[in-house]
Amino acid sequence: MTVGIRDVTLRDGLQLTGKPLPTERKVRLVRELLALGVEHVEIGSMARPDLVPAMADTLDVVAALTPDELARCWVWVATPRHVERAAAAGVTRFQYCFSASDSHNRANIGRDTEASIAAMPDALAAARAVDGELQLCIATTFTCPFEGEVPLERIERILGDDRTAGASDVVICDTLGQAHPAVVRERVGLAAARRPEAGLVFHGHDTWGAGVANALAAVDAGADVVDGALGGLGGCPFAPGASGNTSTEDLAFTLRPAWSSPDSFAALVRLGEEITGALDEPDRARVRGGALSPQARAFPWTLRA
């Protein structure tokens, strides 16, 4: 099975950073990632800029990209109006997100889960009006920072609700990074069984050090795309306890997508170093230590000076 990677540095990766990344650098990063072969890039969010300031220039990033580039780029949305505004700017790939737990959905989006589900048909219609695709993104699929473990039945109801049908993909999110491989396999497998017509994406965090293991479990259960961020950047400002995403570099080395090679991997590691350095954030990519080891020069994936 061929597995793709979606880099989410420019959305989830930037939500908790202390410094902003200039719009021009965001645009260049999108092009660098696409040129390396990364299949998908999440380039921003339609969230309120006063709540998530790092996303305030999302539509400026969109305006700088070509239609061909935007065809591989996703924007986070939470309402039909978000879809309409993004579509008017040229977006055709939308990630419609809500939380499985009401408490997190209220903190993150300002309404309960039922209200988000009820609005999804209108969001789908707005995406279809521009020949676009809309993903069903279920945050807090495993645990909620306010409610604890999320019952499996809650996920079953969302996947079985006719109002969520028609999405191009289902995104299963370990928002807090508290999942482990067995439960990832269970819940991703449930989505694969309930939505065989849709693609399947796994969005993981490395809070408890299981990011790569969980990604592998998700692929075993049917995921065909996994999310990552350069340098392990990321976290949710509305989910206390959530740390960075599983790093794109770790996923590229472990999963070996079609575009991955020693040269592309080296470029990815250097990009992670550059972006985390520009943001004054630590580079948490676990493979970086091995890639830079002077004692491992015989290994082709080791970076050369």
Q: Which DSSP string corresponds to 207-228?
A: TTS-HHHHHHHHHHTT-SEEEE
Mean pLDDT, range 141-165, rounded to an integer: 97
Q: Long-range contacts for 253-257 (Cβ within 8 Å, ≥24 apart)? A: 253/287, 253/301, 254/212, 254/215, 254/216, 255/3, 255/5, 255/215, 255/216, 255/219, 255/226, 257/2, 257/3, 257/4, 257/5, 257/37, 257/39
Compute the distance between CA of residue 122 and CA of residue 116 in angstroms, rounded to an integer.
10
C-beta of residue 119 within 8 angstroms of C-beta of residue 80: yes
pLDDT at 295: 80
What is the model's pLDDT at position 198?
98
The predicted structure's pLDDT at residue 137: 98
Helix (H) / strand (E) containing 265: helix 262-278
Residue 13 pLDDT > 80: yes
Local confidence band at 15 (pLDDT 50, 70, 90 cut-offs) = confident
**Is-catalytic flag, 73?**
no
Residue ranges of domains in the chain, CATH in brackets: 4-296 (3.20.20.70)
Q: What's the confidence (pLDDT) of residue 240?
A: 64
Per residue in 117-150, pLDDT tens?
Answer: 999 999 999 999 999 999 999 999 999 999 999 9
In the structure, what pLDDT confidence band is assigned to residue 176 with cuts at 50, 70 and 90? Answer: very high
Instruction: From the candidates 97, 137, 144, 236, give the one annotated as an active-site residue.
Output: 236
DSSP 8-class letter at 36: H
Pick from 174, 302, 284, 183: nearest CA to 239: 174
How far is it, in rounded angstroms, from Cα 9 to Cα 268?
Answer: 12
> Do the Cβ atoms of 211 and 204 come closer than 8 Å?
yes
The model's pTM:
0.96
- pLDDT of 305 reads 62
Residue reference for tokens 């989410």 = 8
Contact by Cβ (8 Å): 76, 93:
no
Give tens-digit pLDDT for 240-253.
Answer: 666 789 999 999 99
